[in-house]
Amino acid sequence: MEKEITFNHLRNAEAASYIKKRGDAYIALNGGRFANTQAHIKSIIIVILFVYVYKSGLVSAVWPAIIFSFLRGIMMGGIGFNIMHAAAHRSYSPYSLINKTLAFTADLVGWSMFQWNIVHNQEHHSYPNIDGHDNDVNNEPFLRQSPSQKRRWFHKYQHWYMYALYAISSLVILVNDIRRYFKGNTGMTQREHFVWLIGKALYCLLYLFIPFYLLEWKIALLGFLCMHVGLGLTLNFVFPLAHLSEDVAYPVPDESGVIDNNNRIHQIETTANFGADSIILELALGGLHLQQSHHFWPHVHERHYRGLNKIIQEGCTLYGIKSKSYKYWGGAFLSHYRHMRNMGRSDANLAIAA
């Protein structure tokens, strides 16, 4: 981590206050910040579908094993989007134990709640799109994702090979999590050590021991790899589209480490929405197609994001704040592709905004 980052909270303070007050009133008027019965039912359905896909993938026939293992990875992403993510932000339930239990699903899909809390909840949400502080834009030297990063000769091809990296990304996250743990100095409490070990043990049981016990090792290995490809592509066809596009800001702090913007407005200007009116995306992605709402109110459940998005857009129009929303998922996908292509072709700071 580089120098400490601070924000100029006086800039755009009136806009931030206007949006926050109206949004807070909307949340209070509509039942509070936690998940409702509909969200609970959706969670149950997702878990049932995951169990079905998991069992269906434990077959010796090659193509069914490939297809259902890939679908298993997609369903793991669905659990992450709709259950784990909300629980990790303490917006699923008013009860801490329930949030912690559901957030443990991160460990069951190969991540670590401990690392997620640092990399996502603390770093990403505090400093989105700030190079050196947001891990989501720090995949050097393989990818140049921010205008402030050094361009290397092979980056001119990154808009093609990035999909191969996306496909293996969940496996890389797993390996890096294990590597960090055994390097020591994790800062974990005894309880966190215990949870981490239990999580990895259950992960190995579900995705290694049981498949390799029941199936021929080649089929089991193929299924394991296809699962992670499905998970990696699912994650990267959602998360990067919100922050790594042509139309969002990539702010650079001054020499004192100050970003000349209010932190809440910074969240809006570094984030893009897509498919705001899509019921399908709302059901599938846990509100992650409306990440401006999520970043402005990270501890509020996704069931409010549609209404909160309208408030954000009204406030941005009123105060002249730049806000980007793509009508469809495809528009966000193409913008991400063009952004990565541009990052590989030019040294110019194409999209830096203070």
With respect to residue 351, please indicate whether it lies within any of the assigned structural domains: no
Q: What is the pLDDT of residue 1?
A: 46
Statement: residue 351 has pLDDT above 90: no
**Over pLDDT 70: what percentage of the chain?**
97
Buried b (16+ CB within 10 A) or exposed e, 153-174: eebeebbeebeeebbebbbebb
Q: Distances from the Cα of 12 to the Cαs of 16, 253, 321, in angstroms?
A: 6, 17, 8
pLDDT mean over 254-266: 94
Q: Domain count for the chain, please give it.
A: 1
With respect to residue 35, please indicate whether it lies within any of the assigned structural domains: yes
With respect to residue 353, please indicate whether it lies within any of the assigned structural domains: no
Give the model confidence (pLDDT) of 203-250 as tens digits.
999 999 999 999 999 999 999 999 999 999 999 999 999 999 999 999
Closest CA to 91 of 119, 121, 112: 121
With respect to residue 354, please indicate whether it lies within any of the assigned structural domains: no
With respect to residue 206, please indicate whether it lies within any of the assigned structural domains: yes
With respect to residue 218, please indicate whether it lies within any of the assigned structural domains: yes
Alpha-carbon span 233 to 289, nearest angstrom: 16
Alpha-carbon span 197 to 341, nearest angstrom: 40
Mean pLDDT of the chain: 93
Q: By residue range, what is the domain housing residue 134?
A: 6-345
Pairing mode, strands 324-326 and 272-274: parallel
Give the model confidence (pLDDT) of 101-114 as tens digits.
999 999 988 888 88
**Over pLDDT 90: what percentage of the chain?**
86
Maximal CA-CA distance, the chain: 63
β-strand partners of 185: none
Give the model confidence (pLDDT) of 76-102 as tens digits.
999 999 999 999 999 999 999 999 999
Statement: residue 261 has pLDDT above 50: yes
Q: What is the DSSP string of 319-342?
A: HT---EEESSHHHHHHHHHHHHHH
Q: How many CA atoms lie within 13 A of 90 on its CB side?
A: 8
Q: What is the DSSP string of 76-89?
A: HHHHIIIIIHHHHT
Tell if the pTM clears 0.85, that is, is over it: yes
Contacts of 292 (CB under 8 A, 6+ apart): 267, 268, 271, 272, 273, 309, 312, 323, 325
Statement: residue 346 has pLDDT above 90: no
With respect to residue 352, please indicate whether it lies within any of the assigned structural domains: no
Alpha-carbon span 248 to 84, nearest angstrom: 26
% helix, strand, coil for the chain, step of 5: 65, 5, 30
With respect to residue 350, please indicate whether it lies within any of the assigned structural domains: no
- State the pLDDT confidence band at 187, using cuts at 50, 70 and 90: confident
Q: What is the pLDDT of residue 354?
A: 38
